[in-house]
A and B are shown apart, each in its own frame.
Chain A
């Protein structure tokens, strides 16, 4: 009997690992395609030979591949993974399928911070120059998060309070963004709108590095608690009876999620969809087991943003297609079809 259970368990684990491997390959392929596709008519051979030996090709190809395509493609991978993991964890700790960094108002706060920097040129840190917008976005997502934590702390970190606080902050920051759009001049308005659309245009190797380092530091912090987080899905009471400090865990996760979201959003703008849907798909495929749920969410997030980036380049090959639009347009139909086909209880 015991060995039969063991076998079933092994079979499930094997299946879940298979999902991970499949999607890892899919992400890698999407990444390669993302680099290969672009508005200039470089051949695939040119692109990859430039990556392997940068100095053989002409400087123009070099710049296109190394300065434009690679940072953007890497940014899509890292930002997608960060946002999806953030979304997955928010859904877990709040036990709410609608929750995502977006619904907690973190993205909107980042947007407000960015818009504030654009309109008044004044941030919370003076003289930061051109990275002011990103820094301000980061700081304001933290302010939003602090408010949520403070109120949650007063009210014993219950999930309902957190969601309600988050949603009300979302509306507050959206109103503030509208106010700034109203006050802005035409060119400031443009800048705000572009920022809110989301774009990889401002990616550089340094932004890739920052996001990557943050991702690499934060995800293991979440991964250590994967069993606790899995247990949390049983409900607060049961998790407590298993010896988990639910309030502390929730606050810790929220901090991690905020850092992940803020670092990603502050460079690429608000991309609402990525925090919401990939975790759901991951859950359909692997269930609540955090050991697989976290990495699969990350892979799906990366895959979606890479596909969106490719799609955007194909649709609009001369200009820059806003990534936020592409993400939702590619992801939502896919997600809806999943919902229709799989009558899962996962929600």
Chain B
């Protein structure tokens, strides 16, 4: 063997080596890993399996094998089972593509999990968002005009929930509020008999306990575990900002008396107060006294009782009620001047000028939605700050709410959500 041959052989071997190396590098991407994150998510796996099935079982005649049928097969064979917030075991397809939101107020949670293109997965929803939370609806409508065309399936709140309409939408999953479990019992049975899984989540009944669990289980079934864990972690950190300070305190503070009212009627008529729902448990959790405790839920307080109790802090829960011109307007569709003017209106109620809260400008507004959404951490932060101004001097609930919007929600934070009446005087 002469040198030339040896050299050629060497070059050849080197080439082979380089080529095989190149091949190795090229194939480092995992087959089916569509977003190249070197991980096969469940969705990617079922995509790969579906395309494999298409090739293997349908051969060249892919056209005659409907995608819907494949999806149906995949649904039957590839499922995961989770435990929902009602403690039920729910088996859902690994690849959930068509979701009905039993309550459309869940748009915030759903969008937080699904990101920019969240509307693609919603095939139907309840009518609550448009009727109860109009400014949020309008805000989303600006960016996602297609939400106007999402079919509504009635509303559990009004007992107009249309199970038949849901079945005709052929969803992979229906997400329902735990609060409505009893009302929705028959609907749930019917849906499950039709092979449509129903997942109960809860941001209302026990928000302090169930918020993280709910977002995690939603993440699991939607194939967004990582995102859900991220949100849950953020939420936990925000809650810790309150709990860590509260737990570390040595002696008991004098308990603050708090009164919260749903400001939908404006100053002329006392709106309902919160004894055991929404803000009530948060106040108790923060070691305050909710003076409305013991009042029937959904009932207004006796004005005389309010004056006698003389609360230290008054909080008017606001929202967007366009038909009531002096209601406590808060949310996306307002500005500071208008909201503050409305809040000041409440102080003109008969006898309120004698209340400690009004004398000390300790009267605030907060968006009602904060109490029943994934961002309820901002609510407990705001309450904590108002109840213990010194301890939570550095805490900025509004900034944290804004950060949540920026990090997780597809729409921008604007308007007024948390309001202080005293700021005007201080400036």
Binding site for B on A (CB under 8 A): 38-42, 59-60, 63-64, 67-69, 121, 130, 182, 185-188, 190-191, 194, 201-202, 313, 316-320
- In the complex, the answer to whether A187 meets B262 with C-beta atoms within 8 Å is yes
> What B residues does A188 contact at CB under 8 A?
323
- In the complex, the answer to whether B131 meets A185 with C-beta atoms within 8 Å is yes
- In the complex, the answer to whether B308 meets A190 with C-beta atoms within 8 Å is no
With A60-B351, A319-B296 known as contacts, the answer to whether A69 contacts B158 (CB < 8 A) is no
- In the complex, the answer to whether A67 meets B351 with C-beta atoms within 8 Å is yes
> What A residues does B265 contact at CB under 8 A?
187, 191
The residue in chain B whose Cβ has the minimal distance to the Cβ of A40 is: B308
19 pairs, A vs B, C-beta closer than 8 Å: A40-B305, A41-B308, A63-B354, A64-B307, A64-B351, A68-B350, A68-B351, A69-B304, A187-B264, A187-B265, A187-B271, A191-B264, A191-B265, A313-B302, A319-B294, A319-B300, A319-B301, A320-B300, A320-B302
Which residue of the partner chain, among B157, B160, B269, B305, contacts A39 with CB atoms under 8 Å?
B305
Binding site for A on B (CB under 8 A): 131-132, 157-158, 160, 262, 264-266, 268-273, 291-292, 294-296, 298-305, 307-308, 310, 321, 323-324, 350-351, 354
- In the complex, the answer to whether B323 meets A318 with C-beta atoms within 8 Å is no
Determine the distance from Cα of A186 to Cα of B132 in the docked complex, in whole angstroms.
7
> What A residues does B354 contact at CB under 8 A?
59-60, 63
Determine the distance from Cα of A317 to Cα of B304 in the docked complex, in whole angstroms.
10
- In the complex, the answer to whether B350 meets A39 with C-beta atoms within 8 Å is no
With A60-B351, A316-B296 known as contacts, the answer to whether A121 contacts B308 (CB < 8 A) is no
Our count of residue pairs bridging A and B at CB distance below 8 angstroms stands at: 92
Determine the distance from Cα of A194 to Cα of B268 in the docked complex, in whole angstroms.
14
- In the complex, the answer to whether B305 meets A67 with C-beta atoms within 8 Å is no
Which residue of the partner chain, among A39, A59, A190, A316, contacts B304 with CB atoms under 8 Å?
A39
With A187-B262, A318-B295 known as contacts, the answer to whether A64 contacts B300 (CB < 8 A) is no
- In the complex, the answer to whether B321 meets A187 with C-beta atoms within 8 Å is yes
- In the complex, the answer to whether B264 meets A190 with C-beta atoms within 8 Å is yes
- In the complex, the answer to whether B270 meets A201 with C-beta atoms within 8 Å is yes
Determine the distance from Cα of A283 to Cα of B273 in the docked complex, in whole angstroms.
43
- In the complex, the answer to whether B132 meets A201 with C-beta atoms within 8 Å is no
- In the complex, the answer to whether A68 meets B295 with C-beta atoms within 8 Å is no
Determine the distance from Cα of A123 to Cα of B278 in the docked complex, in whole angstroms.
34
- In the complex, the answer to whether B350 meets A63 with C-beta atoms within 8 Å is yes
- In the complex, the answer to whether A319 meets B295 with C-beta atoms within 8 Å is yes
**Least Cβ distance of B237 to chain A in Å?**
33
Which residue of the partner chain, among B132, B266, B294, B350, contacts A185 with CB atoms under 8 Å?
B132
- In the complex, the answer to whether B157 meets A201 with C-beta atoms within 8 Å is no
**Least Cβ distance of A43 to chain B in Å?**
12
- In the complex, the answer to whether A202 meets B301 with C-beta atoms within 8 Å is no
> What B residues does A319 contact at CB under 8 A?
273, 292, 294-296, 299-302, 305
Interface centre among B294, B304, B354 (most CB of A within 10 A): B304
Which residue of the partner chain, among B157, B268, B270, B273, contacts A130 with CB atoms under 8 Å?
B268
Determine the distance from Cα of A319 to Cα of B264 in the docked complex, in whole angstroms.
17
**Least Cβ distance of A195 to chain B in Å?**
10
Determine the distance from Cα of A182 to Cα of B157 in the docked complex, in whole angstroms.
10
Which 10 residue pairs of A and B lie closest in terms of their CB atoms, listed nearest first? A40-B308, A39-B305, A319-B295, A187-B264, A63-B351, A319-B299, A39-B302, A67-B350, A318-B295, A68-B304
The residue in chain A whose Cβ has the minimal distance to the Cβ of B322 is: A121
Determine the distance from Cα of A130 to Cα of B260 in the docked complex, in whole angstroms.
23
- In the complex, the answer to whether A317 meets B305 with C-beta atoms within 8 Å is yes
- In the complex, the answer to whether B132 meets A190 with C-beta atoms within 8 Å is no
> What A residues does B131 contact at CB under 8 A?
185-186
- In the complex, the answer to whether B304 meets A201 with C-beta atoms within 8 Å is no
**Least Cβ distance of A37 to chain B in Å?**
10
Determine the distance from Cα of A39 to Cα of B310 in the docked complex, in whole angstroms.
13
- In the complex, the answer to whether B300 meets A63 with C-beta atoms within 8 Å is no
The residue in chain A whose Cβ has the minimal distance to the Cβ of B321 is: A187
Determine the distance from Cα of A130 to Cα of B157 in the docked complex, in whole angstroms.
28
**Least Cβ distance of B162 to chain A in Å?**
14
The residue in chain B whose Cβ has the minimal distance to the Cβ of A42 is: B308
